[in-house]
Amino acid sequence: MRILVTGSNGLLGQKVTTLLQQDATVQLIATARSASFIPIEKGEFHLLDITNKDDVDKIVAATKPDVIINTAAMTNVDQCESEKEACWKNNVTSVKNLVAACAKFNVRLVHVSTDFIFDGSHGPLAEDEPAGPVNYYGESKLAAEQIILESKVSNCILRTVLVYGITNDMSRSNIVLWVKKSLEEGKTINVVNDQFRTPTLAEDLAMGCYLAAIKNASGIYHISGKDFLSPYEIALATARYFKLDKSRIKPTDSNTFKQPAARPLITGFIIDKARKDLGYEPRSFAEGLSILESQLR
């Protein structure tokens, strides 16, 4: 099976690219806007800007993938709120281009979406919950889902929640690394205690992408961690694990913690469908911290 990965330099893209190289039955086609951040020892790499339709058609025609796993997106929620044109281009126009190429060259599409398509009124959430985004990032990701679902392309949409992990070049931060670094520097941090998520280890999400691709999955799946935690609880667990001063973590609520883009209060996912259909089984948050620690060494 020939699998093309978009956004292979991102956190998820690096994990998917690494995982696919371990399967001798998969021929990897890694793509990104800039030179690869990780070694591509079993497969090929191509420069690709998926917001450019001609580029997408050219690369798909040349490489002839069976499946495209789309991990590329503009995911900085506040940046999406202030740079709406760029957000739409990266999260919606790009998906239109991929869908068109998949239709033209008969390619399956596995696309990564987000819990931020939901309104945050309750959770954890199953796949059939009605959407209602509260920020522009969520609107863009929902629009991308609708484009895919309304197409005739063979597809699978994987929604995920609060992904954490370590990139090869340490270029991306996340809540775990932010808490660890802040406490190591002796800073006092304010962390919200009235939002709830199911934080997802990047390696687990990569496995979800892999399983969806090789099992020819179709439809929508929720792929996340299994622990339902507030950011405050995540911060405390991180401090305990790395033996840092948790007294420097101060709880606050969303009303006093102002950000440019609204966040849904409660999301998190029910992952029973992915467990049953795909054999997906995520690590616990504590196990995820252990994996991060080994990588930081």
Q: For position 38, what pLDDT does the model report? A: 92
The overall average pLDDT reported for the chain is 96
Tokens of 65: 């993938």
Q: Looking only at Cα atoms, what is the longest distance across the chain? A: 57
Q: Report percent pLDDT > 70 for the chain.
A: 99
Strand (E) positions, the chain?
A: 2-6, 27-32, 44-47, 67-70, 108-114, 155-160, 163-164, 189-192, 200-201, 219-222, 249-252
pLDDT band at 170 (very low <50, low <70, confident <90, very high): low
pLDDT tens digits along 65-120 = 999 999 999 999 999 999 999 999 999 999 999 999 999 999 999 999 999 999 99
Q: For position 183, what pLDDT does the model report? A: 97
Indicate the CATH number for domain 2-168+199-227+267-282.
3.40.50.720
- Going from N- to C-terminal start, the domains of the chain cover 2-168+199-227+267-282
pTM over 0.75: yes
Tell me whether strands 108-114 and 67-70 are parallel, antiparallel or unpaired: parallel
- Averaged over 37-50, what is the pLDDT? 96
Tell me the range of 18-27, 162-171, 254-263 where mean pLDDT is highest. 18-27
Q: Residue 82 and residue 84: Cα distance in Å, rounded? A: 6
- Is residue 211 a contact partner of residue 69, using CB atoms and an 8 Å limit? no
pLDDT tens digits along 195-208 = 999 999 999 999 99
Q: For position 256, what pLDDT does the model report? A: 86
pLDDT tens digits along 89-101 = 999 999 999 999 9
- Averaged over 20-47, what is the pLDDT? 96
Q: For position 140, what pLDDT does the model report? A: 98
Q: For position 199, what pLDDT does the model report? A: 98
